[in-house]
Amino acid sequence: MLINFKVSNYLSFQEEQELSMIAGSTKKKENHIIKKNNDLKLLKFSAIYGANSSGKSNLIKAVSFAKNIILSGIRGNCSNLYCRINTENKDKMSSFDFEIEINNNLYAYGFDILLSKNSIKAEWLYKLNKKSNKEELIFNRKLHENINLDNNYFNNNKEILKRLDVYYSDMKDQDTILFLTIMNKNKDTLYREYNDNNVTIFKDIYNWFLNSLVIIFPQLSLDSSPLFLSEESLNKINELISKFGTGISQCNLVDSSLDELLSLNLPPEFLKNMLNNLDTAYINRVKNNITEKPLVSLRINREMFFINRDNNQYNVKKVVLNHKNNDGDYLFIEESDGTQRLFDLIGVLLNTKGEKVYFIDELDRCFHPELTYEFVKYFLEATENSQLVVTTHESRLLDFNLLRRDEIWFTDRDKNGPTTLYSLEKYNERFDKKIDKAYLEGRYGGIPTFEVTSSIGDNY
């Protein structure tokens, strides 16, 4: 679970800004809260509002940037990503800091990077105690300096501490990769040997970013392909699609072929590489007795295909749809942009039991206002342990019948200045307040300011 995220000196963020998922003082809608064994109360949902270019999407980009650095290190030129509003920021550190909950334990992990030099300068990991407001060091380090490891955390095991120090010594002068990343490359033997000495914390934190943190930008979709291949989950998809008034009564998978994929102008070399990856995954499955079949999902010319390998055969399926009171099958490409977008995000609504943290930029893209409203309502009612953070312009969500005060956030910029991020909670509005009207009137900021420079129509 995400507790909070802090960022500074990145894109339009200059001073440190914080998105907090800790529940505020609001007493209403207790079912919107995830209660952990450590007495921590976390929100399931947050909606971020703001004018165009106010920094909403930049917050999602900051989370995505940090995730990519954690998983793979610096893989390109990021020298122009500092907050260029002020020239002095070029030589200032950019900071990314996450507080997260894993297995009822709380951690703070983050790093400093000098973006103009593509250079990671510092990194830290702490275990937190919210009751006592204390931090227990696990490790911290600075570029070119020795790592600081907490002996007590690792049970004063000299052998573990020595191995960690050796791993770090090999990379302490590298400024394009994090120690956390290094600790998740070919370290399976280490984790098997010392499974009970807290050393697996490196794997646990890394896997949270790899598997639990999911970021979806407007042109991307959530990979929900396994859901289409299970009869139980396909029935749930059909139930949801029908519920949301799309006119679709049934979603089916029908046989297709590799030849059909090529006929849709799929590059042969791309198909070859994809099948090679499937072959590798299949061999790994057999070798390690993995029950789940390797699967690839494809969107070609707005069609949806699924490919898996079973024994020596590739199975290709494609999605077709039936409509109420209509004969025949409809191809996925024949559906509206809004319906296709709903399919892109359907996995968010079906993951009712798992623990995921979804960030969706422009949730309302292609959605009717009522569909956006029902999407959020369903998520809040059906989900138990997942969180959803969205950016949106849809004022229909600004409704205390749907959301709590602490679930509503705003980004604001004054004359192209830095972005400020803040919550509606600070306004302490009454629960009978029409906040959508107040927002559009500018009470909370985060709306565009128009400058009229000429009078159109003066000559007519």
Q: Which of 9-18, 284-293, 320-329, 429-438 has the highest mean pLDDT?
A: 9-18
Task: Give the whole-number percent of the chain exceeding pLDDT 90.
Answer: 58
pLDDT of amino acid 431: 58
Beta bridge partners of 359: 215, 389
Task: Give the whole-number percent of the chain exceeding pLDDT 70.
Answer: 95
Q: Pairing relation of β-strands 105-114 and 45-49?
A: unpaired
pLDDT of amino acid 131: 72
* 17-36 confidence digits (pLDDT tens): 999 999 988 888 999 999 98
pLDDT of amino acid 460: 44
Least confident of 144-158, 197-211, 259-273: 259-273
Coil/strand/helix, residue 72: helix
Q: What mean pLDDT comes out for the span 290-295?
A: 77
Least confident of 82-91, 124-133, 222-231, 375-384: 222-231
* 116-156 confidence digits (pLDDT tens): 999 999 999 999 987 777 899 999 999 999 999 999 999 99
345 contacts 222 by C-beta, under 8 angstroms? yes
Confidence category of residue 78, pLDDT binned at 50, 70, 90: very high
* 443-454 confidence digits (pLDDT tens): 777 666 655 554
Taking 90 as the threshold, does the pLDDT of residue 374 lie above it? Answer: yes
57 contacts 65 by C-beta, under 8 angstroms? no
What are the b/e assignments for 204-233, b being 16+ CB within 10 Å? ebbebbeebbbbbeeeebbebbebbbeeeb
* 341-357 confidence digits (pLDDT tens): 998 899 999 988 889 99
DSSP summary character for residue 10: B
Least confident of 91-100, 149-158, 233-242, 449-458: 449-458
- The Cβ-side half-sphere exposure at 183, using a 13 Å CA radius, reads 23
* 293-342 confidence digits (pLDDT tens): 778 888 887 888 989 887 778 999 998 999 887 777 888 888 888 888 99
Instruction: Please give the domain boundaries of the chain with CATH numbers for all domains.
Output: 1-220+338-460 (3.40.50.300), 247-335 (no CATH)
Q: How many residues belong to the chain?
A: 460
What are φ and ψ of residue 234, in 5° steps? Answer: -65, -35
Instruction: Indicate the average pLDDT of the chain.
Output: 89
pLDDT of amino acid 355: 92
Please tell me which residue, 453 or 53, carries the higher pLDDT value.
53
Confidence category of residue 420, pLDDT binned at 50, 70, 90: very high
Left, alpha or beta for 247 (phi > 0: left; psi -120 to 50: alpha)?
A: left
Taking 90 as the threshold, does the pLDDT of residue 175 lie above it? Answer: yes
Coil/strand/helix, residue 87: helix
Taking 80 as the threshold, does the pLDDT of residue 418 lie above it? Answer: yes
Amino acid at 168: Y
Q: What is the pTM assigned to this prediction?
A: 0.91
Q: What is the DSSP string of 31-57?
A: GGEEEPTTS-EEESEEEEE--TTSSHH
pLDDT of amino acid 383: 93
> For residues 339 and 73, what is the distance between their CA atoms, to the nearest angstrom?
36
